[in-house]
């Protein structure tokens, strides 16, 4: 009886995860559907000559092939005679012969149309019907996905947020451990979720009372349901705290266990509901999150990519190319920063790659004896340098929100900023290194590296095969627009290869990696659902700041500054401050609305502005008091490792290296990127 009850509980817990999986697969299917639809129609036209006619309903022509010519001529002659006037000097009378010829031509044309219609009906085979039905389904799926993007994101957001709530895995400074942690964190989650739910209900009542028809009632109703469910789940958790949670704890630690989205939601609930007296305003500002629904759906797909990637051996095999050289820890940390730039660019944001590959980076660095503080610093920075590389989602968002810049120009300069960041890190790594700069002999290390490179050839072949299939079959290139759809498919086939074909044993056992194909896919989807819920909920609450726009950030003081260096210095401070407290995509939205137009008017070049902004935001993510990148790092390496690192180091720098090294690197890079062009008169 107990076993049956446990099975039902597990099934209920898995249902949302299965639903999220189905939703993401549908989104991939629907987005691919447009390309598939185009290729299917071309294939149909190649197989059947008149496919574009045969696929539609063939109706009879709107004419009569059996007209009585003599009767029709008599009717036309009578009409002509009755319409002739007494003073019509130019009336030459009814030309019966010409009218007969015209009628005979019309009949022949009508008979031809009927013959063609009959012939086309005879050509419609069951194969054509099935083929056209498949084509239509792809077309309908693509149209539905485009028209209902906001609804799809809403379902994805609240369903994954529910999973993160049930698993107690929202993003916070510290996990809930003691009974006091649970009491404080869950109570405030209940208050925050209830505030959003009450605001959403008020928003809905206002809509019903108004005579103006809402453009998207599904969105409002969905917010009501989703926010109410989250509030009920928080209430349920509050009365079902773990019985084995230790007593004690401190109020300070308890506050650190509060999810970041809860803190932000409570802050803006106070501002909007209490201070402004606008009860429906919280949900109104919150709904702005869905204006860029396609972008945030991409975030979910990239997170799924990251969790799929976590189930592969790709990360450890790439690092195995460098371990035979016995590089000093600082050099290997530099290598990790450079290597992780590419997956960062393809997974959209630094937070995603840290969640996906941070554990691998940290473990590989620790395997060669890297001190914990340096390993944590490199892990936190592993996604920082790649956000300016093609096809990073953040850059795409910048180009969408700002007509003054195009993504190609941003990526062009982004490569140079990336190289600069890598060089600066290398310089600081050399300055702070503790060990001699020695590596293994070439004749010893090179053969091992080449041997380790052999398995990577198969990964490359899979990548090329899937990407080529999309290109040749669907005419879809792997770029910044198609990457969220194509990458999950590529990584899926890598997992299939590892679990079913590959004879290579993993270089080491990874507890998070499941050895079976169904198990690894299930694990990746479970992790993805949790992280999607935590990250999207954080992004959605930060979007309230962007919704408030100029009310949240006042940059008009820039109009009073005439010096380009002072303007850029003020901008850098503002960007870093925003990055300290906001997630990247909401920060870009806020900067686009409240700061960018003023900076452009003051003569700051748009490309220079955004390169500086992106570097400064990354510096903000690495800066206390919030330091999102460090929060994500702590989440993947574990609380025990983070605590152990805090007790290491013989000087102030080495005791705080995980914070100081990223700040030095990104701070120096920011100063060069921000002020360098001004020195050469490029901007300002």
Residue 665 lies in a domain: yes
Residues 159 and 256 in one domain: yes
**CA-CA distances (angstroms) from residue 65 to 105, 111, 114, 423, 478?**
11, 5, 8, 82, 55
Domain boundary among 265, 293, 321: 293
Question: For 434-462, how does the pLDDT look when each residue is reduced to its tens digit (9 = 90+)?
Answer: 877 788 899 999 999 999 999 999 999 99
Residue 91 lies in a domain: no
Quote the pLDDT of residue 550: 52
Residue 90 lies in a domain: no
Phi/psi of residue 650, each to 5°? -100, -10
Residue with tokens 């010893």: 444
* Distance in angstroms (rounded) separating the CA atoms of residues 411 and 590: 21
Quote the pLDDT of residue 354: 83
Whole-structure pTM over 0.85, yes or no?
A: no
Residues 495 and 520 in one domain: yes
Residue 85 lies in a domain: no
Quote the pLDDT of residue 133: 79
In this structure, what is the dihedral angle of CA atoms 227, 396, 30, 524, given to the nearest 10 degrees? -70
Domain boundary among 124, 144, 164: 144
* Distance in angstroms (rounded) separating the CA atoms of residues 495 and 310: 10
Residue 56 lies in a domain: yes
Residues 278 and 317 in one domain: no
Residue 5 lies in a domain: no
Residues 438 and 459 in one domain: yes
**CA-CA distances (angstroms) from residue 396 to 24, 155, 292, 414, 605?**
21, 24, 12, 12, 18
Helix boundaries (H) for 257-387: 260-269, 281-286, 293-310, 314-319, 329-339, 341-347, 350-367, 372-381
Question: For 75-103, how does the pLDDT look when each residue is reduced to its tens digit (9 = 90+)?
Answer: 877 777 776 555 454 555 667 788 888 88
Residue 84 lies in a domain: no
Give the domain range for residue 127: 11-78+97-144
Quote the pLDDT of residue 10: 67
Residues 313 and 457 in one domain: yes
Residues 527 and 617 in one domain: no
Q: Tell which phi-psi region holds residue 277, choosing left (phi > 0), alpha (psi between -120 and 50) or beta.
A: left
Residues 610 and 523 in one domain: no
* Distance in angstroms (rounded) separating the CA atoms of residues 489 and 483: 10
* Distance in angstroms (rounded) separating the CA atoms of residues 260 and 174: 10
Residues 321 and 401 in one domain: yes
- Residue ranges for the chain with pLDDT beneath 70: 1-12, 83-94, 211-215, 347-350, 547-554, 681-684
Quote the pLDDT of residue 1: 45
Quote the pLDDT of residue 664: 96
Residues 104 and 172 in one domain: no
* Distance in angstroms (rounded) separating the CA atoms of residues 302 and 586: 17
Domain boundary among 503, 538, 573: 538
Quote the pLDDT of residue 198: 95
Residues 132 and 167 in one domain: no
Q: How many domains does the chain have?
A: 4
Residue 3 lies in a domain: no
Residues 475 and 432 in one domain: yes
Residues 65 and 178 in one domain: no
């Amino acid at each position: 009886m107990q076993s049956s009850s446990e099975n039902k509980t597990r099934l209920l817990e898995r249902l949302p995860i299965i639903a999220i999986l189905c939703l993401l697969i549908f989104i991939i299917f629907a987005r691919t559907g447009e390309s598939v639809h185009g290729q299917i129609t071309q294939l149909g036209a190649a197989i059947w000559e008149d496919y574009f006619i045969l696929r539609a309903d063939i109706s009879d022509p709107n004419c009569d092939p059996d007209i009585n010519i003599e009767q029709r001529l008599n009717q036309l002659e009578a009409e002509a005679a009755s319409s002739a006037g007494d003073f019509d000097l130019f009336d030459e009378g009814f030309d019966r012969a010409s009218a007969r010829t015209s009628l005979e031509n019309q009949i022949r044309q009508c008979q031809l149309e009927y013959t063609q219609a009959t012939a086309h009906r005879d050509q419609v085979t069951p194969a054509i019907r099935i083929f056209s039905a498949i084509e239509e389904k792809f077309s309908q799926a693509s149209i539905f996905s485009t028209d209902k993007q906001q609804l799809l994101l809403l379902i994805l957001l609240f369903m994954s947020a529910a999973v993160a709530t049930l698993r107690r895995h929202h993003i916070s400074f510290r996990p809930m451990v003691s009974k006091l942690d649970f009491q404080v964190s869950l109570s405030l989650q209940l208050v925050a979720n209830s505030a959003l739910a009450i605001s959403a209900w008020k928003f809905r009542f206002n809509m019903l009372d108004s005579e103006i028809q809402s453009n998207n009632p599904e969105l409002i109703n969905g917010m009501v349901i989703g926010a109410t469910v989250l509030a009920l789940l928080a209430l349920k958790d509050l009365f079902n705290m773990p019985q084995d949670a230790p007593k004690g704890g401190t109020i300070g630690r308890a506050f650190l266990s509060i999810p970041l989205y809860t803190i932000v939601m409570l802050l803006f609930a106070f501002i909007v509901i209490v201070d402004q007296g606008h009860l429906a305003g919280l949900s109104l500002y919150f709904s702005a999150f869905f204006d860029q629904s396609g972008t945030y759906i991409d975030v979910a797909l990239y997170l799924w990519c990251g969790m799929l990637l976590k189930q592969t051996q790709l990360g450890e095999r790439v690092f195995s190319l460098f371990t035979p050289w016995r590089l000093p820890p600082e050099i290997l940390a530099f290598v990790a920063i450079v290597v992780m730039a590419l997956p960062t660019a393809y997974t959209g944001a630094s937070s995603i790659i840290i969640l996906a590959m941070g554990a691998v980076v940290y473990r590989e660095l620790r395997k060669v004896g890297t001190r914990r503080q340096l390993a944590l610093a490199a892990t936190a920075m592993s996604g920082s340098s790649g956000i300016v590389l093609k096809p990073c989602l953040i850059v795409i968002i910048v180009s969408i929100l700002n007509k003054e810049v195009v993504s190609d120009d941003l990526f062009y300069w982004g490569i140079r900023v990336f190289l600069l960041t890598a060089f600066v890190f290398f310089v600081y790594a050399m300055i702070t290194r503790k060990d001699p700069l020695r590596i293994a002999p070439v004749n010893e290390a090179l053969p091992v590296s080449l041997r380790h490179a052999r398995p990577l050839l198969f990964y490359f072949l899979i990548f090329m095969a899937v990407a080529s299939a999309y290109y040749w079959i669907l005419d879809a290139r792997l770029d910044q627009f198609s990457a969220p759809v194509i990458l999950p498919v590529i990584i899926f086939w890598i997992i299939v290869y590892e679990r079913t074909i590959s004879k290579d044993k993993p270089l080491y056992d990874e507890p998070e990696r499941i050895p079976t194909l169904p198990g690894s896919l299930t694990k990746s989807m479970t992790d993805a659902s949790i992280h999607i819920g935590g990250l999207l909920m954080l992004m959605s609450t930060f979007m309230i700041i962007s919704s408030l726009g100029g009310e949240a950030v006042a940059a008009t003081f820039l109009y009073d500054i005439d010096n380009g260096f002072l303007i850029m210095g003020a901008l850098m401070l503002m960007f870093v401050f925003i990055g300290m407290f906001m997630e990247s995509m909401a920060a870009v939205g806020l900067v686009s609305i409240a700061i960018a137009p003023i900076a452009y008017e003051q003569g700051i070049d748009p490309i220079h502005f955004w390169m500086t902004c992106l570097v400064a935001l990354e510096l903000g993510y690495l800066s206390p008091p919030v330091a999102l990148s460090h929060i994500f790092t702590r989440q993947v390496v574990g609380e025990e490792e983070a605590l152990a690192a805090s007790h290491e180091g013989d000087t102030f720098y080495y005791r705080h290296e995980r914070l100081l090294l990223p700040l030095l690197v990104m701070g120096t890079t920011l100063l060069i990127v921000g002020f360098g062009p001004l020195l050469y008169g490029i901007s300002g």
